[in-house]
């Protein structure tokens, strides 16, 4: 047992029901944490190594990609816009999450948590902070775009950087509030069989409430709002102009990627309310983590000249992707002013 654990919340293996974790990376240990990869067979060892390699790739791409986004927005783009405010916030959220991945990769490969109770709670907290802040920011961006389409003149006069910054701060504070259950239920637990410490969720009788809460507030409601906004946009602009804009394509790609990345996680977690699906949980968590490394590449490669976009000009393409569209025209011809996000 590590030093200082006498001051942390420690449970024995019998005190915690055999539920899955947000990061159930104990893929090579025995005892009460048995899962489909938790033995020493070649297949299970291969599964553990594969998952670790994938997460290392996610970490490297996420740190590099989101780091470039932050650098481009902070230093390369001279004129800051509402658009850059949205995407800078998304990049910061993804960067912070990716920065915590090494802790969980270590857990995945060793089956032991050696970083204390604070980091045990914090890494889980960051996972859900990233989930909530990402989807809520997409909701704000969708509403913002919808307002531009429906009330173009009002948006042009009232859509300011200060209001966008306030919206981002509120979003982060609300996301932090909704992520608090990770700080409450995450505990350290000793595995007496292997003489190691585990970072675990002790939901007790509140597991169903927490999982449904996350699914509804972190996925269903936001997706409904986003869908309504898109329907309004499509109805108001029934021509190819809106659908062909850079902003529309980037936002659509971000939303589709988020849904594909996070829906399997929610499904497996809800299925696991009464039973364990550790293989599905481990894979779906990795897929959700991958969402944080894909966004920067979506920003850069959603332009019209995709085939000409090489890695050497990645930063310049990011700058172009974040710039405000200059399209304008009369509403009578079906074109809107400032049709960018």
Instruction: For 319-337, write each residue's pLDDT tens digit.
Output: 666 655 444 334 434 444 3
Q: What token pair was written down for 244?
A: 């062909």
For residue 328, the surrounding DSSP H or E stretch is none
Instruction: Assign domain 5-333 to its CATH superfamily.
Output: Rhodopsin 7-helix transmembrane proteins (1.20.1070.10)
Residues for the chain: how many in total?
A: 341
Per DSSP, the three-state class of 95 is helix
CB count in 10 Å sphere of residue 224: 11
Greater confidence (174 vs 274) lies with 174
Contact predicate 210/181, CB 8 Å: yes
**How far apart are alpha carbons 229 and 218 in whole angstroms?**
17
DSSP 27: T
pLDDT band of 183, cuts 50, 70, 90: very high
pTM of the model: 0.75
Task: Report the SS3 class of residue 199.
Answer: strand
| Other beta carbons less than 10 A from residue 139's beta carbon | 19
In this prediction, residues 113-127 reach a mean pLDDT of 93
**Tens-digit pLDDT profile for residues 129-164:** 999 999 999 899 889 988 988 888 888 888 899 999
| Distance from C-alpha of 280 to C-alpha of 268, rounded to nearest angstrom | 6
Q: How far is CA 99 from CA 92, 198, 214, 322, in A?
A: 10, 21, 23, 24
Predicted confidence (pLDDT) per residue in 236-275, tens digit: 776 554 445 666 677 778 788 888 889 888 888 887 665 5
Answer whether residue 34 shows pLDDT above 60: no
């Amino acid at each position: 047992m590590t030093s200082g654990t006498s001051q942390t919340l420690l449970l024995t293996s019998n005190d915690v029901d055999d539920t899955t974790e947000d990061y159930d990376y104990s893929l090579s240990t025995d005892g009460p944490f048995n899962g489909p990869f938790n033995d020493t067979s070649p297949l299970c060892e291969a599964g553990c190594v594969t998952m670790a390699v994938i997460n290392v790739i996610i970490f490297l791409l996420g740190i590099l990609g989101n780091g470039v986004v932050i650098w481009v927005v902070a230093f390369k783009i001279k004129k800051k816009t509402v658009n850059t405010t949205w995407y800078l916030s998304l990049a910061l959220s993804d960067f912070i999450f990716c920065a915590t991945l090494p802790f969980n990769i270590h857990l995945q490969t060793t089956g032991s948590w050696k970083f204390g109770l604070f980091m045990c709670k914090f890494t889980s907290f960051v996972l859900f902070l990233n989930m909530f802040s990402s989807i809520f920011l997409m909701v704000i961006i969708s509403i913002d775009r919808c307002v531009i389409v429906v009330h173009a003149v009002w948006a042009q006069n009232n859509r300011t950087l200060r209001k966008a910054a306030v919206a981002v701060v509120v979003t982060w504070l609300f996301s932090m509030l909704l992520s608090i259950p990770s700080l409450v239920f995450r505990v350290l637990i000793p595995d007496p069989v292997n003489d190691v410490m585990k970072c675990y969720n002790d939901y007790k009788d509140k597991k169903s409430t927490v999982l449904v809460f996350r699914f509804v507030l972190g996925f269903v409601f936001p997706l409904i709002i986003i869908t309504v906004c898109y329907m309004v946009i499509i109805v108001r602009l029934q021509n190819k102009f809106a659908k062909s804009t850079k902003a529309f394509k980037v936002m659509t790609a971000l939303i589709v990627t988020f849904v594909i990345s996070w829906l399997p996680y929610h499904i497996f977690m809800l299925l696991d309310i009464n039973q364990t699906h550790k293989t599905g949980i481990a894979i779906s968590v990795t897929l959700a983590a991958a969402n944080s490394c894909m966004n920067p590449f979506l920003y850069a490669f959603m332009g019209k000249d995709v085939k000409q976009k090489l890695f050497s000009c990645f930063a310049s393409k990011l700058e172009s992707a974040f710039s405000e569209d200059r399209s304008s025209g009369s509403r009578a011809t079906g074109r809107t002013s400032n049709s960018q996000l």
